[in-house]
Structure 1
Amino acid sequence: MAVLASHVVIPFSARAEDHAPHTDTAATKRPPAAFDFSPQQKISDGTVTVRGQKIAYQAVAGTLIVHPQDWDDATPEKTSKPEDEPVAAMFYVAYFKKGVKSTERPITFVYNGGPGSATVWLHMGAFGPRRIVTADDAHTAAAPYKLIDNDDSLLDVTDLVFIDAPGTGFGRLGGKDKEKAFYGTDPDAWAFTDFIAQFLGRYRRYNSPKYLYGESYGTTRSAIVANMLKQEKEIDLNGVMLLSQILDYDNSIDRPQNNPSVDQPYVLALPSFAATAWYHHKLPQQPADLKAFLHEVEHFALTDYTSALQDGTAISDARFSEIATRLHAYTGLPVEYIKHANLRVNGGEFEKTLMGDEDIDTGRLDSRFSGASIDPLSQRPFYDPMDSSMGSAYLSTFNDYVRDALHYGGENPTGTYEDYKPSAHSIGKWSFTHEQPDSPHSDRGLPNVLPDLAMAMKENPLLRVQLNQGYFDLGTPYFEGVFEMRHLPIPRKLAGNIEIHQYMSGHMVYAHAPALKELHDNAADFIRRTDNLHG
């Protein structure tokens, strides 16, 4: 059973804090204090049992301070006031196993995506010492929620650092042009690169085996960070673990109609459409073996379907009808609907149409979930049933856990409480342009970071990559990730450094308890095989 005992407060700046409940009601009228842009740290102790192994650990909750890439702490800018310089305090929670030398213990940096998401999901749903229990494929009942010891925590094989993106969690941004300085593909990757290097120095972990674990947009980030750590910091990683991958945004099934003549997204999403139709029993003939069925769909997608889409308007009427009928067999969508869509159904249209006249939409991030349509006549759902099903459980439980167990985010001296932000709400402000390695003029409207991961693998030919995917993910379809891994610009012999695992779950693979166990076991095995500590 996880037990959080005594805690020690060690701020990097001399500052005392009282964690007892404040009884002065007048305190709530005090103006909020200016945010303290200096590194903070609070330490607590705990134990957890993972796979029968009792692990005593030290938990550290705090912030580290990062600046934009062109900021130099040795020669600070003299053209502006210090308070005008862009700065980000990035919040993190780290767990260190007690009684182990740093050189004998791997360390894994874990983060969600968004972009602009906190990492409460991977922290409390997957690999932290405590885990939130949610309903498997339905809406989780309202509070009280259940927090349990996590038998699937990765603390049995690695220390863990859960990092919240700039502007999320208990972190904050400051200075002029702060959003421009951090809300973008390359600025965000630099902030994480700087954070990781600082963390390794502060906690003397440079000589530990090192891993990245990113989910969703976090996989985009990981590809860049893996290369940045090598190029800018001379840090080799042992491994990169990717969960629900998207490395080339031109492959997204969300709005491929905005990029006519590029049909690849429809091809790569088809197997996930088929898996979803299978789950909801919407196929004309229900196969017994999902994996064998998907193998058949994958082959059709790369051959007959691709060929038909490449023909464009030159396709014959007979061929057009033949492909529409095959798509009906693989997706359950009506033949006439498929024809009306010109054989090209995007993600939102599929989520909206699969359940027919039931006025129910399937989930995007996890299509096992479904929910009532807000507008049955709309082209795409107005909300994601999976997200609405679990968000309250995660945020409510974490807000108590971080204060009660980690002793962070309580009342400050002004009588106000810090606000944990699950999202920076930065998507509308985000600059997706990305400069690829050795291509200074390669800024594109949508990022393609395949060259970044390839560069990291070529410069460190021992770097291993693990891709994990859910069959029922319509946000980052699993076959998209497979396709991207097959098209990394690397020598063929390095393709053996990549391994791929699929699960009976969605985008947040860990939302399905059996899949979480597999996810843990695959990650643990990957680390043991690559940490250079076992032979």
Structure 2
Amino acid sequence: MSITKRQWLAGAASAAGLAGLGGAWAQEPAAAGPFVTRHAGVFNGRKLNYTATVGETILRDSAGVATARFVSTSYVRDKADQSRPVIFAFNGGPSSSSQTLHMMALGPKRPPVAQDPRSPEPAPSLIDNSFSVLDAADIVMVDPAETGFSRILPGGKREYFYSVEGDAQSVSDFVVAWCQANGRQASPKYVLGESYGTLRAAFMAGQLAKTLPLDGVFIFGQAVNMIETSQRAKNAVSYATNITALAAIAAYHGKAERSDRPMNLIIDEAYAFGMGEYLQALVRGSDLPASERQALAGKLQAMTGISADYYLANGLTITKMAFQRELLKDEGLMVGMYDARYVGPIPKPGERLPDPSFKPMQAIGPMMLEHYAKNLGVTWPASDYRSSAPQTSGWSWAPTLGPGGPFYDFDYQSQLSKAFAANPKFRLMVGTGIFDLTTTVGPARYLVSQSDYPRDRVIQRQYVGGHMAYTNEPTLKAFNDDVRAFVTGGRL
């Protein structure tokens, strides 16, 4: 699936010599813990003391049988009361550990990342993440079943946890159990999901609406409406919505006309063109007169840097994967799928090269393990840690339709409507990296425009960067500032 970050994590692990982190299916971390450590830090200019806990939560079925052992990492301000918000955060996959959000965005420590995509990455190390929202909210990093140190137990069934609905329900059950165990049922509760985790977050919003309604969900790199915006043959809406990313990336690399204009203006104009003139032309298909076809191909060339001849030969469309190779082809380069600011050589026939976007990800795996061992006192073997769950090829994407892919006719976005109905204060934030070729700005806007969500309770953000835009430090600050305002009711 194009939105998975398993390729990112696997690429990073391989580059870091961590190929053995997957482990065997039946392997379980040694019984120990929780690991509780106390710390002080300065976040958003505010000094505070906090407690980090790496501990387990046992999930049980209706008969009381233990089905899964969830291991989470929580950062809780000392003397926090129920008025303090709690953020439950996880990454994508399916199914990946939360190490990327943990180490690159929200946690108290992070590895530095070269800010010029053309520069070599610094040696792996840990620095303080002064941007973290820990000054405003407690943070719980969730590793779903079979990721991180979490495991399915003998009483659980893999097919349940390896499904959209079961996976989401298990994380919802974890949220309820964690709040009960920590006396935080009355705290404002927020879920932050990224990539595939946005599907999980949407389902959780609907599930928890019945038992423990959320106060907000932040979907970052959203895939909730990929059924509508995936680039299947003749899917006109997909090309119309995704033109935003092509225009932004072409401008970044100086391949579009008037590339020096403000990026927000470029994106706004591309979206208006895509959902207007371009969509209408694609819908007309072969009935579009040749003169109009030629004129439109010229506009597409000016906007995306791809030749009019290419568009004329390909039905006025280009897939995101083809664009990845075509934009800089004359230089022998391709842009990254997950962050198109990064470039690398085009593979030769039969050659497999890592996506250029992997470059800033290489430090995540080793730094996650170093953070556990040196800062959080975790003594479990590093070999027990899984950056991604094994054997997920049979993942079931819809509650009743079985395995196959995320593009069944299932209304994922309606799950969020249940959360709006359950809590009159519930808000939704949608964030997107403008140089991401997987989950782009256009579909995020389209998601909201096609929804029944109250517009005064929806916030949309676009960030300079890719699928994980917070690797760009100005975006890291903006991202955390937005999360901070979101969970505290501040101005957005």
Normalization by structure 1: what TM-score? 0.81
Which aligned pairs between 1:18-57 and structure 2 lie closer than 5 A?
35=28, 40-57=33-50
- With over 3 angstroms needed to count, the CA separation of the structure-2 counterparts of 1:430 and 1:245, relative to structure 1, is same
Q: Which residue of 2 aligns with 1:28?
A: none
Q: Which residue of 1 aligns with 2:365?
A: 395
- What is the distance in 2 between the residues matched to 1:100 and 1:325? 59
Match of 2:464 among 496, 504, 528: 504
CA deviation after TM superposition for structure 1 residue 133, in Å: 0.8
Q: Which residue of 2 aligns with 1:523?
A: 483
Aligned CA RMSD, in angstroms, stands at 2.6
Matched, 1:350 2:323: yes
Q: Which residue of 2 aligns with 1:195?
A: 174
Find the residue that maps to 2:384 and give its secondary structure: coil
- With over 3 angstroms needed to count, the CA separation of the structure-2 counterparts of 1:312 and 1:434, relative to structure 1, is farther
Task: List structure 1 segments (4+ residues) > 4 angstroms apart after TM superposition.
Answer: 31-34, 36-40, 139-143
Identity score, percent: 27
1:446-504 superposed Cα distances (whole Å, 9 cap, x missing partner): 653111011221232321111121111111001211110111134xxx22100111111
Q: Which residue of 1 aligns with 2:217?
A: 240
Q: Which residue of 2 aligns with 1:123?
A: 102
Deviates more, 1:129-138 or 1:472-481: 129-138
Find the residue that maps to 1:458 and give its secondary structure: helix
Q: Which residue of 1 aligns with 2:20?
A: none
CA deviation after TM superposition for structure 1 residue 35, in Å: 2.9
CA deviation after TM superposition for structure 1 residue 143, in Å: 7.3
Query: Does the 8 Å CA contact 2:36/2:52 hold for their aligned counterparts?
Result: yes
- What is the distance in 1 between the residues matched to 2:367 and 2:311? 43
Find the residue that maps to 2:209 and give its secondary structure: helix
Match of 1:302 among 275, 280, 295: 275
Q: Which residue of 1 aligns with 2:75?
A: 95
Match of 1:420 among 385, 396, 407: 385
Find the residue that maps to 1:473 and give its secondary structure: coil
- With over 3 angstroms needed to count, the CA separation of the structure-2 counterparts of 1:133 and 1:517, relative to structure 1, is same
Find the residue that maps to 1:93 and give its secondary structure: strand
Which one-letter code corresponds to 2:329 in the other structure?
A: G
- What is the distance in 1 between the residues matched to 2:440 and 2:26? 45
Q: How many residues align?
A: 464
- Larger CA Rg, structure 1 vs 2: 1
Q: Which residue of 2 aligns with 1:17?
A: none
Query: Does the 8 Å CA contact 1:239/1:530 hold for their aligned counterparts?
Result: no
- With over 3 angstroms needed to count, the CA separation of the structure-2 counterparts of 1:460 and 1:39, relative to structure 1, is farther
Matched, 1:290 2:253: no
- What is the distance in 2 between the residues matched to 1:293 and 1:142? 30
- With over 3 angstroms needed to count, the CA separation of the structure-2 counterparts of 1:179 and 1:374, relative to structure 1, is farther
- With over 3 angstroms needed to count, the CA separation of the structure-2 counterparts of 1:34 and 1:479, relative to structure 1, is closer
Q: Which residue of 2 aligns with 1:488?
A: 451
- With over 3 angstroms needed to count, the CA separation of the structure-2 counterparts of 1:158 and 1:338, relative to structure 1, is same
1:159-211 superposed Cα distances (whole Å, 9 cap, x missing partner): 00000121111112243884312111111111111111111111111011111
Q: Which residue of 2 aligns with 1:21?
A: none
CA deviation after TM superposition for structure 1 residue 299, in Å: 1.1
Find the residue that maps to 2:481 and give its secondary structure: helix
- What is the distance in 2 between the residues matched to 1:192 and 1:342? 43
Q: Which residue of 2 aligns with 1:13?
A: none
Query: Does the 8 Å CA contact 2:29/2:384 hold for their aligned counterparts?
Result: no
- What is the distance in 2 between the residues matched to 1:288 and 1:445? 39
- What is the distance in 2 between the residues matched to 1:444 and 1:468? 21
- With over 3 angstroms needed to count, the CA separation of the structure-2 counterparts of 1:337 and 1:96, relative to structure 1, is same
Match of 1:266 among 233, 236, 239: 239
Q: Which residue of 1 aligns with 2:227?
A: 250
Query: Does the 8 Å CA contact 1:137/1:369 hold for their aligned counterparts?
Result: no
CA deviation after TM superposition for structure 1 residue 226, in Å: 0.9
- What is the distance in 1 between the residues matched to 2:260 and 2:87? 39
- With over 3 angstroms needed to count, the CA separation of the structure-2 counterparts of 1:321 and 1:383, relative to structure 1, is farther
Q: Which residue of 2 aligns with 1:166?
A: 145
Query: Does the 8 Å CA contact 1:115/1:426 hold for their aligned counterparts?
Result: no
Point out where structure 2 has 5 or more consecutive residues left out of the alignment. Answer: 1-23
Which aligned pairs between 1:105-504 and structure 2 lie closer than 5 A?
105-138=84-117, 141=120, 144-175=123-154, 178-231=157-210, 234-253=211-230, 256-257=231-232, 260-375=233-348, 383-386=354-357, 388-411=358-381, 418-434=383-399, 445=408, 447-490=410-453, 494-504=454-464
- With over 3 angstroms needed to count, the CA separation of the structure-2 counterparts of 1:148 and 1:355, relative to structure 1, is same
Query: Does the 8 Å CA contact 2:340/2:436 hold for their aligned counterparts?
Result: yes
Which one-letter code corresponds to 1:184 in the other structure?
A: S
Deviates more, 1:270-279 or 1:282-291: 282-291
Which one-letter code corresponds to 1:504 in the other structure?
A: V
Query: Does the 8 Å CA contact 1:434/1:448 hold for their aligned counterparts?
Result: no
- What is the distance in 2 between the residues matched to 1:475 and 1:34? 33
Find the residue that maps to 2:41 and give its secondary structure: strand
Point out where structure 1 has 5 or more consecutive residues left out of the alignment. Answer: 1-30, 77-84, 412-416, 437-442
Which one-letter code corresponds to 2:368 in the other structure?
A: F
Which one-letter code corresponds to 1:392 in the other structure?
A: Q
Deviates more, 1:131-140 or 1:264-273: 131-140
Normalization by structure 2: what TM-score? 0.88
CA deviation after TM superposition for structure 1 residue 145, in Å: 1.0
